[in-house]
Amino acid sequence: MSKYSLTILALSFLIFGMAGACSSGKKSNAETKAEEVLPEDVVELRADQIKLAGIQTGVIEKKSLSGTLKVNGIVSAAPQNLATICAPMSGFVKSTTLMPGNAVSKGQVLVVIENQEFVDIQQNYLEARNKLEYAEAEFKRHSELFKEDVYSEKNVQQVTTEYKNLKAQVSALKQKLVLISINPDNLQEDNISRSISLVSPITGYVDAVNVNLGKYVTPTDVMFRIVNNDKLYLELTLFEKDANKVAKDQKIRFYINNESEQHAAIITQTGQSVSSDKTYKVYASVTGVCKSVLPGMYVNAIVETSGDLVTALPSGAVVNFDDKDYIFVFDKNKEEGGKPFTEYKIVEVKKGVTDGGYTEIILPEGFDFVHAKVVVKGAYTLLSAKKNAGEMAC
């Protein structure tokens, strides 16, 4: 027999038992004394009825409960995982084989560009480097002769100036070569090239391709965009009034494309200002591997807001009737007709946030929650007894 069937059977026994006890009690009381009338906020049960219903009491606890806040946002890639590829200098696209969606690894050649200017830079560098070798030798020779009073100070200064100028020129041209992906240390007079290869700075997927063979590109043109989905983050938009409900390290649950699959994130940074439309930005890092989550996707997110220390009970201890919330509190034990009875008092409360099987309760003013024994199991049985109070009057 299922747990649900056992519960229904137990409740049936309880109600019939209560009705029988009341009927028997009425007959006895009619002969011996006036019928007892219970206060409106009190329910009483016999010891065997309490045992059958599995009623248990507990204490009101102080717990830190978290609420939830529903927000919207988009998925983005971390700046270090998003690369925009542009040409360092203008040129014509000589070759590329990439299509959107292709996987690329760090250091892989994306495109080959050619231009006469690349040849000029290499030529200027080699010429300047050769001149520097001669100027350096002259500088050393004149410096030694100056020490021996063979050359005048003016001649030495002139040679030193020429040497330093060439040294600066070689250093500048060397940086230009590095900028266009040519290694100056490997450059010789017999391996000058008119083309350069641009490589991927990260491992990821090609998100956009904006070039074709023969196209002339400039440094301002975006040729490719590479995205690494290993580290994604959420950019969430909150209203100004909710800014104080979020903080770093709070957990987030989010969904994409109306899917039922739940993904997780954690807040890494909160905005430091409110925009003109009175919204507030929050950034969260996606945790775990989410293959279906891609940059640019729209998300619905639930933020687990910071919890305060509140009075709380297990959620099953709070019952609802006529749009009001109640708890049952142990009042006293008594004996009638040689049988033990227990009285429970019903107390109206207000519910707050629910988290982890516990519900925040706002108690009436003056309620002694420290010493109160609250029904934590079987509260709905007492509610049923309260609804049938007319039949239960003993």
Co-location of 89 and 155 in the same domain: yes
Residue 83 contacts residue 202 (beta carbons within 8 Å): yes
What's the angle, vertex CA 50, arms to CA 338 and CA 335, rounded to 5?
A: 20
Residues 6+ apart with CB under 8 A from 210: 221, 222, 223, 224
Contact 345, 329 (CB under 8 A): yes
Q: How confident is the model at residue 32 (pLDDT cuts 50, 70, 90)?
A: very low
Say which CATH number the domain at 232 has: 2.40.30.170
Instruction: Report the SS3 class of residue 10.
Output: helix
Whether the Cβ atoms of residue 306 and residue 66 lie closer than 8 Å to each other = yes
Q: Predicted confidence band at 335 (pLDDT cuts at 50, 70, 90)? A: confident
> Residue 33's pLDDT band (boundaries 50, 70, 90)?
very low
Beta bridge partners of 362: 350
Q: Is the dihedral of CA 239, 242, 248, 254 positive or negative?
A: negative
pLDDT value at 177 more than 80: yes
Which CATH number fits the domain that encloses residue 358? Answer: 2.40.420.20
Domain closes at, from 188, 209, 226:
226
Q: Are residues 183 and 203 in the same domain?
A: yes
Percentage, residues of the chain above pLDDT 90 = 39
pLDDT of residue 83: 93
| Whole-number Å distance between alpha carbons of 198 and 251 | 40
- In total, the chain counts a number of residues equal to 394
Structure-model confidence comparison of residues 332 and 150, the more confident one:
332
CATH label of the domain that carries residue 149: 2.40.50.100
My answer on whether 337 and 321 are in the same domain is yes
Mean pLDDT of 144-161: 74
What confidence tier does 40 reach under pLDDT thresholds 50, 70, 90?
confident
pTM: 0.55
pLDDT at 148: 64
Q: Do residues 50 and 89 both lie within one domain?
A: no
Q: Collect all residues with Cβ–Cβ distance below 8 Å to 298 and sequence separation of at least 6.
A: 72, 73, 74, 256, 257
pLDDT of residue 27: 44
Instruction: Look at residues 307, 324, 350 and tell me which one is the last residue of a structural domain.
Output: 307
pLDDT at residue number 356: 74
Range in 13-27, 85-99, 214-228, 368-382 with the lowest mean pLDDT: 13-27
The strand pair at 222-227 and 204-209 is best described as antiparallel
Mean predicted confidence (pLDDT) in 43-48: 88
CA atoms within 13 A on the CB side of 118: 25
336-371 per-residue burial string, b: 16 or more CB within 10 A, e: under 16: eeeeebbbbebbebeebbbbeebbbbebeeebeeee
What is the rounded average pLDDT of the residues 230-251? 85
The residue with greater pLDDT, 149 or 282, is 282
Quick one: 35 and 94 in the same domain? Answer: no
pLDDT beyond 90 at 2: no
For residue 133, count CB atoms less than 10 angstroms from its CB and return exposed for 0-12, middle for 13-18, buried for 19 or more.
exposed
Instruction: State the Cα–Cα distance between residues 342 and 344, nearest whole angstrom.
Output: 7
Report the pLDDT value the prediction gives residue 36, as an integer from 0 to 100: 61
Can you tell me the mean pLDDT for 79-86? 91
Segments forming the whole domain that contains residue 27: 3-65+309-392
Give dist(CA 282, CA 273) in Å, integer: 11
251-256 and 42-46: which strand pairing?
A: unpaired
pLDDT (tens digit per residue) in 132-142: 988 888 888 87
Token output for 145: 């002769």
Nearest-5° Cα angle at 107, 74 to 94:
95
Quick one: pLDDT at residue 279?
A: 87
Position 356: which residue type?
Answer: G
Beta-strand ranges (E) seen in 240-316 are 251-256, 263-274, 279-287, 298-304, 308-314
Cα separation of 299 and 195, whole Å? 44
Tell me: the pLDDT tens digits for 356-393?
A: 788 888 899 889 888 899 999 989 888 888 777 644 33
Q: Are residues 321 and 294 in the same domain?
A: no
Ramachandran class of 101: left when φ > 0, alpha when ψ lies in -120 to 50, beta otherwise: left
- The total number of structural domains that make up the chain: 3
Lowest pLDDT segment from 1-15, 99-113, 306-320: 1-15
